[in-house]
Amino acid sequence: MLKVIIVAGARPNFIKVAPIIAAMRRRPKDFQPILIHTGQHYDAAMSDAFFRDLEMPEPDVDLGVGSASHAVQTAGIIQAFEPYVISERPDWVVVVGDVNSTVACALVCAKLDVKVAHVEAGLRSRDRTMPEEINRVLTDQIADLLLTPSSDADENLRAEGIPPERIRFVGNIMIDSLLANLERAKRSTARADLGLVNKDYAVLTLHRPSNVDEESALVRVIEALEEIARRLPIVFPAHPRTRKMIEELGLAERVENIKGLILADALGYLDFLQLLSGARLVLTDSGGIQEETTVLGIPCITLRKNTERPITIEMGTNKLAGAEPAKIVAAANEALDNPPDKAALRIPPLWDGRTADRILDALLQNPER
Ligand code: UD1
Is 102 near ligand 1, meaning CB less than 6 Å away?
no
In a mutational test of the pocket of ligand 1, which residue from 129, 207, 242 has the highest number of ligand atoms less than 8 Å from its CB?
207
267-293 per-position pLDDT tens digit = 999 999 999 999 999 999 999 999 999
Q: What is the whole-number distance in angstroms between the Cα of residue 190 and the centre of ligand 1? A: 23
In a mutational test of the pocket of ligand 1, which residue from 15, 17, 37, 41 has the highest number of ligand atoms less than 8 Å from its CB?
41
Instruction: Give the per-residue pLDDT at 342.
Output: 83
In a mutational test of the pocket of ligand 1, which residue from 17, 48, 67 has the highest number of ligand atoms less than 8 Å from its CB?
67
Atom of ligand 1 lying closest to residue 98 CA: 11
Q: What is the whole-number distance in angstroms between the Cα of residue 349 and the centre of ligand 1? A: 30
Show the low-confidence residues of the chain (pLDDT under 70): 367-369
Q: What is the whole-number distance in angstroms between the Cα of residue 241 and the centre of ligand 1? A: 7
Is 356 near ligand 1, meaning CB less than 6 Å away?
no
Instruction: Give the per-residue pLDDT at 340.
Output: 87
> β-pairing, 300-302 with 318-320?
parallel
| Beta strands across the sheet bearing 318-320 | 261-265, 234-238, 202-205, 281-284, 300-302, 318-320
316-367 per-position pLDDT tens digit = 999 999 999 999 999 999 999 999 888 889 999 999 999 999 999 999 997 6
Is 37 near ligand 1, meaning CB less than 6 Å away?
no
Any long-range contacts for 193-197 (C-beta under 8 Å, 24+ apart)? Answer: 194/235, 194/262, 194/264, 194/275, 196/233, 196/235, 196/275, 196/278
- Active site residue ranges: 207
Instruction: Give the per-residue pLDDT at 369.
Output: 54
The model's pTM is 0.97
Instruction: Give the per-residue pLDDT at 227.
Output: 98
Sorted by sequence, the CB contacts under 8 Å of residue 252 that are 6+ apart come out as 246
User: Is the separation of the CB atoms in 77 and 38 below 8 Å?
Assistant: yes
Is 100 near ligand 1, meaning CB less than 6 Å away?
yes
Atom of ligand 1 lying closest to residue 73 CA: 35
Instruction: Give the per-residue pLDDT at 344.
Output: 87
Mapping DSSP onto H, E and C, the string for the chain reads: CEEEEEEECCHHHHHHHHHHHHHHHHCCCCEEEEEEECCCCCCHHHHHHHHHHCCCCCCCEECCCCCCCHHHHHHHHHHHHHHHHHHHCCCEEEEECCCHHHHHHHHHHHHHCCCEEEECCCCCCCCCCCHHHHHHHHHHHHCCEEEECCHHHHHHHHHCCCCHHHEEECCCHHHHHHHHHHHHHCCCCHHHHCCCCCCCCEEEECCCHHHHCCHHHHHHHHHHHHHHCCCCCEEEEECHHHHHHHHHCCCHHHHHCCCCEEEEECCCHHHHHHHHHCCCEEEECCCHHHHHHHHHCCCEEECCCCCCCCHHHHCCCEEECCCCHHHHHHHHHHHHHCCCCHHHCCCCCCCCCCHHHHHHHHHHHCCCC
192-217 per-position pLDDT tens digit = 999 999 999 999 999 999 999 999 99
Q: What is the whole-number distance in angstroms between the Cα of residue 130 and the centre of ligand 1? A: 13
Atom of ligand 1 lying closest to residue 240 CA: 22
